[in-house]
Amino acid sequence: MNKTKRKIFETSMKLFAEKGYDATSIEDITATVGVAKGTLYYHFSSKEEIFNFLIEEGIKLLQNSIDIKTSKLTNYIDKIRAVVLIQVKIVSKYEDIIAILLSQFYGKEARNQKCQTLIYEYINKIEQIVEQGIKKGQIKKGNSKAIASEIYALICSSLVYKLRNQEDFDVMTLFREYDVTVIEGLKA
């Protein structure tokens, strides 16, 4: 990604997170970036395309990080630990992308449905880990869809925790709390 496209990407992410999708205009983006509309349209054909690029890149980052980390592990509780730690780290570093995804999750418009689809695909990835862990006897029997949704919900709770404290938080401290209160309860 070239420097101008990256700046448009980062600025749009910040504006969508702060003002919301509907309240952010192309003019807001170009004025903040300091480029002409033509330059923006050279990189993205519309505000919707910018939005789609943002959320796809955000989920791709999350999924790729999880794929890399979990592929090296054989114990399914450890895989869940890796998922939770990555989620907490992503919230810490990329809070705006998570805020955008969550803010656009509800509704019937194309962008809402896109967010829903991407989030459900991600939850399904977690669900597969849970199902395999149950089959191997490493995770206690239960509803794998519910368990995967609970694990995904840690993204939401991590973001709320960060916003509530209005400051950066220690990733490992929060992760250890989740390990004790959530992950340990999954052991078979």
Give residue limits of the domains in the chain: 1-45, 51-186
pLDDT digits (tens, 9 = 90+) for 20-73: 999 999 999 999 999 999 999 999 999 999 999 999 988 888 899 999 999 999
Q: What is the pLDDT of residue 155?
A: 80
Query: What pLDDT, in 10s, does the model give residues 97-154?
Result: 888 888 898 999 999 999 999 999 999 999 999 999 999 999 999 999 999 999 999 8
Q: According to the model, what pLDDT value does residue 169 have?
A: 75
CATH code for the part of the protein at 1-45 = 1.10.10.60
Give pLDDT, residue 170.
Answer: 85
Is the pLDDT reported for residue 174 higher than 90?
A: no
Mean pLDDT of the chain: 91
- Using the predicted structure, report yes or no on whether residue 165 has a pLDDT greater than 80: no
Q: Which of 147, 114, 111, 115 is nearest to 129 (CA)?
A: 147
At residue 93, the pLDDT reads 84
The Cβ of residue 127 has, within 10 Å, a number of other Cβ atoms equal to 20
CA angle 136, 140, 141 (to 5 degrees): 90
Distance of alpha carbon 148 from alpha carbon 130, whole angstroms: 7
Which residues does residue 139 pair with via DSSP β-bridges, in sequence order? 187
pLDDT computed for residue 158 by the predictor:
83
Identify the three-state secondary structure at position 82.
Answer: helix
**Same CATH fold, 51-186 and 1-45?**
no
Listed in sequence order, the residues at least 6 apart from 121 whose beta carbon sits closer than 8 Å to its beta carbon are 59, 63
Please measure the distance between the N-terminal and C-terminal CA atoms of the chain and give it in whole angstroms: 45
Decide: 63 and 122 in contact? Cβ < 8 Å: yes
Q: What is the sign of the dihedral through the CA atoms of 101, 87, 166 and 54?
A: negative
Verdict on whether the full-model pTM lies above 0.85: yes
DSSP-derived letter for residue 166 is T
Sign of CA dihedral 100, 102, 106, 111: positive
Give the model's pLDDT for residue 45.
95
Model pLDDT, residue 31: 96
pLDDT tens digits, one per residue of 83-101: 999 988 888 888 888 888 8
User: Cα(15)–Cα(6) distance, rounded to whole angstroms?
Assistant: 14
pLDDT of residue 80: 97
pLDDT of residue 64: 92
Structural fold of domain 51-186: Tetracycline Repressor; domain 2 (1.10.357)
Q: Taking Cα atoms as reference points, which of 17, 133, 157, 141 lies closest to residue 84?
A: 157
